[in-house]
Amino acid sequence: MMDESKVGLTSKQKAGNFIGSFGLIIILLVIFGLFSFLIPGVYFTWVNLRDMIRFSSFVGIGAIGMTFCIMTGNFDISVGSMLALAGVLGASLAPRISGVGGVIVTIIVALFLGFINGVFVTKLKIPAFITTLGMLFVFRAIAYIYTNNTPQYIQDRFWISIGNKTFLGLPIPIYIMAVCYGIAYLLLKKSPVGRYIIAVGTNSRAATLSGINVDNIKILVFTLIGLFVGIAAVINASMLGAANPGMMGDGWEFQVITAVVLGGTALSGGSGSLGGSLLAALIIIFLKTGMSNAQVNSYWQQVATGLVLIFAVSLNKLKFWLIGQTQ
Amino acid sequence: MVKFLKLYEKIGIFILIVAASIFLTIVSPNFRNMDTILGIIMQGSYGAIIAVGMTLALTSGGFDLSVEAVMGLTSVILAMLIPQMGFTLSIIIAILASCFVGMINGVLITKVGISPLIMTLAMQVILRGTSLLITGGRQVVIAQKSFMTIGASKVFNIIPTPIIYMVVIFIVFYLLLNQTTFGRHIAAVGSNEQAARMSGLNVTIIKTLVYVLVAFTASIVGVIRTSQTLIGIPTMAPGFTLNVLTIAILGGTSLAGGKGNLIGTFFAGIFISMIYYGLNLLNVQIFYQFLSVGLVLLFALFVNGLRIRYLESAKVKGIRI
Amino acid sequence: MNEKNVFIELKNIRKIFPGVVALENVDFDVRYGEVHALVGENGAGKSTLIKILGGAYQPDGGEIFIEGEKISISSTSMAQHLKMAVIYQEFNLIPDLSVAENIFIGREPKIGKSFINWNKLNNDAAEILKKLDIDINPRKFISDLSVAEKQMVEIAKSLSMDARLIIMDEPTATLTEKEVVKLFSIIEELRKKGVSIVYISHRLDEAFRLSDRITVLRDGKRIETKKTSETNQDEIISLMVGKIVNDYFAGKKEKTTDRDIVIEVKNYNIADYIHNVNFKLYKGEILGFAGVLGSGIHHLLRSLYGAAQKTEGEVFFEGKPVDIKNASEAIKLGIGYVTEDRKGEGLLNDMSVLQNISIIIIKFLTFFKGIFIRQKKELDVFNKIAKELDIKYANINQRIIYLSGGNQQKVVMGRTLVSNCKVLILLEPTRGIDVGAKAEIHKIMVELANRGISIIMTSSELLELVNLTDRCLVLYKGKLVAEFNRENMNEEKLVAAEIGKLSYANN
């Protein structure tokens, strides 16, 4: 009787599942192999590898919150500006309230901004992207105005060490990223909240009938984005030694969204993968570093990032089409 | 309340303009000057022209985030081609190239099924990169001063040319949207795509053409702005897309599709320009302009949200709407 | 039969869906200027048949002749080309376009190549509306029209295409008496003009008032085609119901002796849908609700679960007044709800069998202040209910969508059962489920009721209500019109009450 409910997979479905499971690893290996071959002695070195992973933590941590958000079928396009606003506020206060205080302020500010986004999105009943598009400009403008467009340098040794020191041979951001992914994994897989997030994304009407408060889950998800953006802001400001109201996080939302989409999270919500987002963040940085190392014109790099996003969405479409649940 | 909301949908923007006018008349003695008023309208024309295209996209149920990059692409193509081929041909090529970009947007959105958000966002980045590639990242000065007549001269020595372009484009698009079958079919697609398809309309072609038209309007503004500065700028007008979206939404065009209000768009463009003028009076930095546009967008969304909420609760209570 | 009188004739039409024969050897014909009523219970094959006529489905066997010529209706536009129009229950109108534009969409009169000739458009539309004696301003937007007016516009639209056959699917389901009268006079007009009409309705009195002939479908077969003047409602009802032996129902439930009231509803109103309804639900009882489209049952039961809002009235749960505003309050009281729209609002598609079962109760299966799930406990809960309901699955991580319909239904039921509900609202519990699984679901329901759980159920299969329920309430147009208990309930009476033919006075 067991067999009755087991559906035999067609070759198409198998291909779709294969793309879902191994596609990213193959892409990562191909990129890594290609650049190792093209620029021998530069790309495939321990130092370069370590640095690439260190840089990928910036995109990777941001991608966590965005993965949750897109899983619920929403979208936050304001993360880059949120990063800058939280960063400059924290950095500007650090001299007065110590580095630790600055770090905490940065994270709390981002958390709060995310919460505001969530409230607006749920209460206005308007697609999240348009609300957060407005916020993208508001946050950035406030960052400019607050700092009078001057970079906020970070002198505090504790804060500087977060992004630049190593521990047991590995850069600290890698540990932070690992902890963030660990917590996110527990949240998604081992706590009721994770179930609620997926339920809201896969079928919000069914979730409502199951007694889940859909609005609260959405607000929570936007707040989580804030949390991880705050952590990313701390690392980013530390690596650069300053929080710059104009440059900090400019175009970052694009990288983060690309990572999540490339990681296999469906834009329509419901299914998503943290591991996929992490791998995709690595792919983006491996590709970017590789192109830089190979001295590819930076404008070509920009074109490439756009193409990668379109490729990622198309790949997702292909995957779901093969598995047979067209959206 | 229902009546008020319906009325607001139609004339809300005029209330805002009147309020802003009264305010500006009080605080600025120069405001009553004809030149000032024409200047404000001219400044508003750039956003309004593209917002006219964006209104079409919103009416069809989509939208376009790549418009500012299309402006940059136009600007760069002009700067590179004008020395070789003169104005007319360069402008035609630049506009055609932009329309082609719009077509790619439309085809990938309708055929591959990529969401308009992701598609046009990616297109923006790609076009920015391409424009930078074409000029090698530099801004390119156009030596032919006479090119300035296109965007920086005045008709009868009074009316700046951009205002003329805005009026012409507005009239053409107004007729297109409200008087032609194509325009009404755009609204049909945005209102109920399934029913439109069942009624035998070619949804793919209608949507694709809409994205071509948005890119067309963006390209026109690209030409005007380039002519005024005589510089080909690959990263022209960062953040202008928000401006355009804000104008369209503030003008009363619904995000849900089906309802395009071009008259509202036209005046919302002028209203935004009045805000800029007011901010200039205060002598604040450009960042306040970003802030204000963002806040105006949120305000427009807030009103829209109130409307949706009210209509929903009215439905529960059984009030006929 | 005079061949020349026949506009369209269907012979031996057969349509198969995976696992189900929807239509088998159905013959059907429509004459010029005839109103032909098509009746049958839900699932009899009516909608499949009209979709074949409208070009939305292709038959798997049989032939179609129009005016004696063999044709195939390969698409919806082909049907339009053949001058046949279907007016579905969910209209194909565009809300943000005007009445005139909708009538002529895709065929607008033009000035030159692309400009709409508004004068001609509006005048032509006005003319068509006037011909039908419909008083609607052609410049009005569809979104501003009432349901009845939308229907009129659909009729006008089909006439503007010179339709010679108009198929109306349950046209009166959501209309008021006055609007129905109006519709009937239009149908009379059309008939005089030689337009043929296929009229589908649950309301037999309408079929008798309008039609020249009536065809009864049952279980995908044509049972009879009768001249309306030569038959009566009782005969048609008995043809619809049939005398099939249904051996797949589980043993009858013990009669409830328990008279504890679990839910009492007083003076209940929902704007537009429910008018002054009162009823009681007893402990361990299976209470059925019957009614055709437009009866308001759906809204009533949803509002009991907090998924829709009442406008007036009181609800008492175990004697205490309650105001249930959302699903989580209903769950807290111990009310469970299983939707009839399993795909749309029941299944959590991207989640596993296990997660689908535990979604409601998961917040209680936790440690560390509700942060972490007790996976062992979750698994225990799952195993227990899976065994109890005999859910068949490959492994607990299998995605819910890969289960069969019957097992999906068990999961959705199990979801509410594990949260210890006292009242279970089951809408169409066996819809889209094969025969074997149906019997299992029935068995489960009876066992639950015997255990003291009160069940409210609806079913469009009346036999299911007759066999399972202790009592059955019938709603017609939002009002409670009849109540039956096991002794005096039968299918004929239920049908009669559903269509407003029987009320408290004569049952």
CA distance A183 to chain C (A): 12
Residue for token pair 């970017």? A288
B201 in C contact zone (CB under 8 Å): yes
Which chains are adjacent to chain B, needing at least 3 Cβ pairs under 8 Å? A, C
Q: What is the pLDDT of residue C487?
A: 85
C89 in B contact zone (CB under 8 Å): no
CA distance A302 to A251: 10
Extract the tokens encoding C257.
Answer: 């002796």
Interface contact flag, C105 B318, Cβ < 8 Å: no
Task: Please give the average per-residue pLDDT across C51-57, as a whole number.
Answer: 85
Q: What is the pLDDT of residue A106?
A: 95
Residue A214 confidence class, pLDDT cut points 50, 70, 90: very high
Query: Chain C contacts of B175, Cβ < 8 Å?
Result: 115
pLDDT tens-digit series, residues A29-65: 888 888 888 888 888 888 888 889 888 999 999 999 9
H-run or E-run covering C66: strand C61-66
Residue A196 confidence class, pLDDT cut points 50, 70, 90: very high
CA distance A208 to A201: 11
Question: Could you tell me how many residues make up chain A?
Answer: 327
Query: Chain B contacts of A123, Cβ < 8 Å?
Result: 305
CA distance B112 to A266: 15
Domains of chain C, start order: 3-241 (3.40.50.300), 258-334+421-507 (3.40.50.300), 347-419 (no CATH)
Sign of the torsion formed by the C-alpha atoms of C412, C414, C420 and C422? positive
Q: What is the pLDDT of residue B293?
A: 82
Which residues lie closer than 8 Å to B14 by C-beta, 6 or more apart?
B267
CA distance B213 to B53: 6
CA distance B150 to chain A (A): 30
Percent with pLDDT over 70 in chain C: 93
Interface contact flag, C346 A209, Cβ < 8 Å: yes
Q: How far is CA C115 from CA B177, B179, B180, C98, C119, in A?
A: 10, 6, 4, 16, 12
Query: Chain B contacts of A135, Cβ < 8 Å?
Result: 294, 298
Q: What is the pLDDT of residue C232?
A: 83
A22 in B contact zone (CB under 8 Å): no
Residue C305 confidence class, pLDDT cut points 50, 70, 90: very high
Interface contact flag, A205 C344, Cβ < 8 Å: yes
Is C1 a residue whose pLDDT tops 70? no
Q: What is the pLDDT of residue A117?
A: 94
DSSP codes of every residue in C21-54? EEEEEEEEEEETT-EEEEE--TTSSHHHHHHHHT
Interface contact flag, A141 B114, Cβ < 8 Å: no
A131 in B contact zone (CB under 8 Å): yes
B19 in A contact zone (CB under 8 Å): no
A212, closest residue in chain C (CA to CA): C328
Strand partners, B259: none
CA distance C392 to C403: 8
CA distance A137 to chain B (A): 6
CA distance B243 to B273: 10
Pick from C349, C394, C415: CB nearest A5: C394
Task: Please give the average per-residue pLDDT across C41-57, as a whole number.
Answer: 82
C472-C477-C480 Cα angle (round to 5): 35
CA distance C9 to A89: 78
- Find the radius of gyration of the CA atoms of chain A: 20
Domain of residue B40, residue span:
2-317
Residue A1 confidence class, pLDDT cut points 50, 70, 90: very low
Interface contact flag, C96 B190, Cβ < 8 Å: yes
Query: Chain B contacts of A257, Cβ < 8 Å?
Result: 118, 121
Interface contact flag, A192 C398, Cβ < 8 Å: no
A299 in B contact zone (CB under 8 Å): yes
Q: What is the pLDDT of residue C435?
A: 64
Pick from C345, C370, C375: CB nearest A206: C345
- Could you report the average pLDDT of every consecutive run of 10 residues in chain B (321 residues)? 67 81 81 83 91 94 91 94 89 95 94 88 92 89 86 84 92 93 92 83 92 96 92 86 88 83 90 85 75 84 76 60 43
- Find the radius of gyration of the CA atoms of chain B: 20
Q: What is the pLDDT of residue C170?
A: 82
Residue A251 confidence class, pLDDT cut points 50, 70, 90: confident
Q: How far is CA C430 from CA A7, A176, C407, C443, C445, in A?
A: 22, 52, 11, 12, 11
Query: Chain B contacts of A125, Cβ < 8 Å?
Result: 305, 308-309
Task: Please give the average per-residue pLDDT across A75-95, as a whole number.
Answer: 93
Q: What is the pLDDT of residue A2?
A: 35
Task: Please give the average per-residue pLDDT across C251-263, as a whole number.
Answer: 72
Using left for φ > 0, alpha for ψ between -120 and 50, and beta otherwise, residue C116 falls in beta
CA distance C435 to C420: 28
| Number of domains observed in the structure of chain B | 1
Sign of the torsion formed by the C-alpha atoms of C255, C260, C262 and C268? positive
CA distance B172 to chain C (A): 12
Pick from C76, C92, C97: CB nearest B187: C97
Bigger pLDDT: C287 or B86? C287
CB-CB contact of A64 with A274 (8 Å): yes
Query: Chain A contacts of B313, Cβ < 8 Å?
Result: none
Instruction: Return the DSSP state at C256.
Output: P
Q: What is the pLDDT of residue C245?
A: 43
Q: What is the pLDDT of residue B113?
A: 84
Pick from A6, A213, A325: CB nearest C328: A213
Bigger pLDDT: C112 or B95? B95
pLDDT tens-digit series, residues C379-395: 999 999 999 888 888 88
Interface contact flag, B179 C94, Cβ < 8 Å: no
pLDDT tens-digit series, residues C88-105: 877 788 888 999 999 998
CA distance C425 to C414: 13
**Please, which residues 252-271 of chain B have a Cβ atom closer than 8 Å to chain A?**
255
Sheet of C479-485: strands edge to edge? C335-338, C423-427, C454-458, C286-290, C471-476, C479-485
Q: What is the pLDDT of residue B217?
A: 96
Interface contact flag, C94 B188, Cβ < 8 Å: yes
Task: Please give the average per-residue pLDDT across C198-219, as a whole number.
Answer: 86
Query: Chain B contacts of C95, Cβ < 8 Å?
Result: 191-192, 258
pLDDT tens-digit series, residues C226-246: 898 888 887 887 887 765 445
Distance, CA of B293 to chain centre: 14
C97 in B contact zone (CB under 8 Å): yes
Bigger pLDDT: A122 or C259? A122
Which one, of C22, C30, C17, C88, lies nearest residue C64 by Cα?
C30
**Please, which residues 87-126 of chain B have a Cβ atom closer than 8 Å to chain A?**
108, 112-115, 117-119, 121-126
Task: Please give the average per-residue pLDDT across C417-429, as a whole number.
Answer: 90
* CATH number of the structural domain spanning residue B281: 1.10.3470
Helix residue spans in C305-399 (DSSP H) = 327-333, 342-345, 353-358, 375-389
H-run or E-run covering C89: none
B66, closest residue in chain A (CA to CA): A306
Bigger pLDDT: C180 or A20? C180
Interface contact flag, B191 C271, Cβ < 8 Å: no
Which one, of B181, B211, B212, B172, lies nearest residue B199 by Cα?
B181
Residue for token pair 């919103």? B58
A213 in C contact zone (CB under 8 Å): yes
Which chains are adjacent to chain C, needing at least 3 Cβ pairs under 8 Å? A, B
CA distance B234 to B98: 14
Residue C264 confidence class, pLDDT cut points 50, 70, 90: very high
CB-CB contact of C320 with C282 (8 Å): no
Bridge-based pairing state of the strands C274-282 and C261-270:
antiparallel
Which one, of C168, C200, C189, lies nearest residue C37 by Cα?
C200
Complex ipTM: 0.84
Lowest-pLDDT choice from C25-39, C231-245, C317-331: C231-245
Q: What are φ and ψ of residue A243, in 5° steps? A: -110, 115
Interface contact flag, C307 A209, Cβ < 8 Å: yes
Is C496 a residue whose pLDDT tops 70? yes
CA distance C451 to B38: 81
Residue C158 confidence class, pLDDT cut points 50, 70, 90: confident
pLDDT tens-digit series, residues B196-221: 887 778 899 999 999 999 999 999 99
Extract the tokens encoding B255.
Answer: 């995000």
CB-CB contact of B258 with B185 (8 Å): no
Extract the tokens encoding C166.
Answer: 């108009």
Bigger pLDDT: A190 or A317? A190
Q: What is the pLDDT of residue B185?
A: 92
Interface contact flag, C116 B191, Cβ < 8 Å: no
Task: Please give the average per-residue pLDDT across C469-487, as a whole number.
Answer: 90
C92, closest residue in chain B (CA to CA): B195
Extract the tokens encoding B198.
Answer: 């069942």
